[in-house]
């Protein structure tokens, strides 16, 4: 579901919403919206800030849902192999909030955010590392879209 130009018609709010939704388990890519917005009247720095904050808050919502979830029930819902679920939990406990740097990554980012919530990783460091990862990602995307990378 890529609706780049349509979401971009909503301006910065459309970009924020697209980036927020893209950081949840819903299938949406925010890059087309960002590209459409780059063609508009906004400064790249403003788009970077809006995209980073929207995506970060979306990722933190997944983290929050994970904190509310029962880990064993969630593993059964996703039909996760119990040994793999246990290995993920041990990895998340061992590496803690630093794993949040990877929440920007396609496919694995959302489950990482959810897993960090399930294992009750410390919220402030998790939020900080997640913001760093997502902000760097959008900086690279903007530079690439502008042909500077």
Give the pLDDT confidence score for residue 141 in this predicted structure.
94
Quote the mean pLDDT of the chain. 86
The total domain count for the chain is: 1
Overall average pLDDT of the 102-107 stretch:
89
Which residue bears the tokens 């996760």? 80
Q: Tally the C-alpha atoms within 13 A of residue 140's C-alpha that lie toward its C-beta.
A: 8
Domain extent, residue 22, equals 4-145
pTM, whole model, 2 decimals? 0.83
Counting Cα atoms < 13 Å in the Cβ hemisphere of 83 gives 0
Residues 27-41: what's their mean pLDDT?
A: 88
71 versus 29: which is more confidently predicted? 29
Answer for the pair 113, 59: CB distance below 8 angstroms, yes or no.
Answer: yes
**What's the pLDDT at 125?**
94
Is 143 within 8 Å of 35 (Cβ atoms)? no
Average pLDDT, integer, range 24-44: 87
Burial 36-49 (b: 16+ CB within 10 A, else e): bbbeeebebeebbe
Neighbours of 90 (CB within 10 A): 11
Within 8 A by CB and 6+ apart from 114, the residues are 25, 62, 63, 65, 66, 69, 74
pLDDT value for 21:
92
């Amino acid at each position: 579901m890529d609706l780049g130009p349509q979401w971009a018609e909503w301006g910065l709010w459309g970009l924020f919403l697209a980036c927020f939704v893209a950081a949840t388990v819903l299938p949406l890519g925010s890059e087309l919206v960002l590209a459409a917005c780059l063609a508009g009247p906004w400064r790249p720095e403003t788009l970077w800030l809006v995209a980073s904050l929207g995506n970060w808050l979306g990722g933190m919502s997944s983290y929050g849902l994970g904190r509310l979830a029962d880990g064993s029930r969630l593993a059964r819902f996703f039909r996760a192999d119990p040994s793999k679920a246990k290995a993920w939990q041990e990895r998340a406990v061992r590496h803690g909030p630093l794993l949040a740097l990877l929440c920007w990554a396609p496919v694995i980012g959302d489950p990482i955010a959810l897993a960090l919530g399930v294992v009750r990783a410390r919220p402030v460091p998790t939020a900080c590392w997640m913001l760093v990862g997502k902000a760097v990602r959008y900086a690279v995307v903007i530079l690439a879209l502008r042909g500077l990378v």
